A and B are shown apart, each in its own frame.
Chain A
Amino acid sequence: MRVAACIALLTAMAGAALAAEIPLDQRRSGYSFMSADTKAMQDEDTDNPGMLSVLDGETLWKRKAGTADKACADCHNDAHVSMKGVAAHYPAFEKAFGKPVDLEARINLCRTNHQQASPFAYESRELLALTAYVAQQSRGVPIAPGDDPELAPFVEKGHALFMQRQGQLNLACANCHDDNWDKKLAGSAITQGQPTGYPLYRLEWQALGSLQRRLRACITGIRAQAYDYGSPELVELELYLMSRARGMPVETPAVRP
């Protein structure tokens, strides 16, 4: 019964014409779709398992690494001061590459260039912890990426990917997250896909995870081949989603079902 309903809804979505982007005053964080119990997990730091990674990140921030034998803190000092608001501006344009990099990639660039250490693997405990620690310093800060005019073509690429139907279900991100965000899919609320709290603790994962992991899961969900971690497509999608969420406060580390 549930399976039938699920397919019917997805088919309905696939057939519908794309609506416009969500009006600014109707944008809602994934938080607002959650049950009171799940909200409570995010509301109190001592209840939020994502804070365990933030604590790990604080330890890593102060730990010397690489042949340079430098810690993040040796250059950036107190993260509470130096990293405040930083995550709200990512992905940011990296001149050396001529393209945007997300916060995880920025941390790894710092590791390879300045600490002369090997980069952390995507979704590794260390990379998630440092990213969460840096991003948590922006909690409450309005999201504001893409001010650099050089980013504009990449925001457009991300937007195009968001609107692009793909996979066996022939769905675009927009079919669910622009057009049907007030509905449900099986028992779950369809959210607007606002990336306000990454890295975040997902109950499904029972762990912290990045926005790239969430995007890959969504793409797998529509039965398409997920882009590789670090691929330009994922960074462009991240960039578009952040520009779409402009002005919404950072919630890292958020909790989501």
Chain B
Amino acid sequence: MANSEHTRRTFFGLTGGAAAMVIVRPADATPAMLSAAIRNVVGEANVRTGKVKLEIPPLVENGNTVPMTVSVTSPMTADEYVKSIHVFNEKNPQPNIGNFYLGPRAGRAQVSTRIRLADSQKVTAIARLSDDTFWSATADVVVTLAACTEEAI
């Protein structure tokens, strides 16, 4: 998963690399793929900044398991609620992370999960409200490398 293997490979190379590292470096999700993935969800609608809060550590110890919470400001009534939350990333092999479908009975528009980030990058959360407006928040995450790693598989 980790595209950041590249830096590790350099390190191993310089130090004589006793370990057989298995390097996988698939193409990163491109900005075009990211915008296509977002268009796939929002269509031609305008996405505004606000209402959405994206909680993710700015500096993570391991990109394999990054805790993330998205919450949306909404009264969550039958007339005014959050329909869905969509989370995207900039530099993983795929731009999508997850789609979460809720409704008025959720009571509170908040979901948490753990995600993988192949490299330091931006994460974007977009919420679709009951009036079909879209709101977003973006966060920058720095992924540090573990000093000592072993074979990937």
Which A residues fall within an 8 A CB radius of B? 2-3, 6-7, 34-35, 37-38, 40-41, 167-169, 185-188, 190, 203-204, 206, 216-218, 220-221, 223-225, 257
User: SS class of chain B's interface: helix, strand, loop or mixed?
Assistant: loop
Residues of A within 8 A of B148 (CB): 185, 188, 217-218, 220-221
What CA separation (Å) do A3 and B17 show in the bound complex?
13
Q: Are A221 and B67 in contact (CB under 8 A)?
A: no
> When A34-B61, A203-B62 are in contact, do A6 and B147 touch as well, CB less than 8 Å?
yes
Known contacts: A3-B11, A257-B61. The answer to whether A217 contacts B150 by CB under 8 A is yes
How many B residues touch the partner, as a band?
Answer: 20 to 34
What are the interface flags for B8-23 relative to A under an 8 Å C-beta threshold, 1 for contact and 0 otherwise?
Answer: 0011001111110000
B40 within 8 A of A: no
* 24 sample A-B contacts, Cβ–Cβ < 8 Å, listed by A number: A2-B7, A3-B7, A3-B10, A3-B11, A6-B147, A35-B60, A35-B61, A37-B60, A167-B18, A168-B16, A168-B18, A169-B15, A186-B144, A186-B145, A187-B59, A187-B145, A187-B147, A188-B147, A220-B18, A220-B150, A223-B15, A223-B16, A223-B19, A224-B18
Q: Which residues of B contact A (CB under 8 A)?
A: 7, 10-11, 14-19, 57, 59-62, 64-65, 67, 144-151
A203 interface neighbour in B7, B19, B64, Cβ under 8 Å: B64
Contact across chains for B18 and A225 when beta carbons are under 8 A apart:
yes
Residue ID in chain B nearest A34 by CB atoms? B61
| Option from A37, A187, A225 in Cβ contact (under 8 Å) with B144 | A187
Decide if A257 touches B62 in the complex (CB within 8 Å): yes
Identify which of B11, B16, B59, B62 contacts A204 (C-beta below 8 A). Answer: B62
CA distance A185 to B145 in the complex (A): 10
- What is the CA–CA distance of A175 and B146 in the complex, to the nearest angstrom? 18
The CA-CA distance from A20 to B69 in the complex, in Å, is 44
Pick the residue among B15, B147, B150 that contacts A168 (CB under 8 A).
Answer: B15
Question: Measured between C-beta atoms, what is the minimum distance from B66 to chain A in Å?
Answer: 8
Supposing A188-B147, A257-B146 touch, asked if A204 and B64 sit within 8 A by C-beta, the answer is: yes
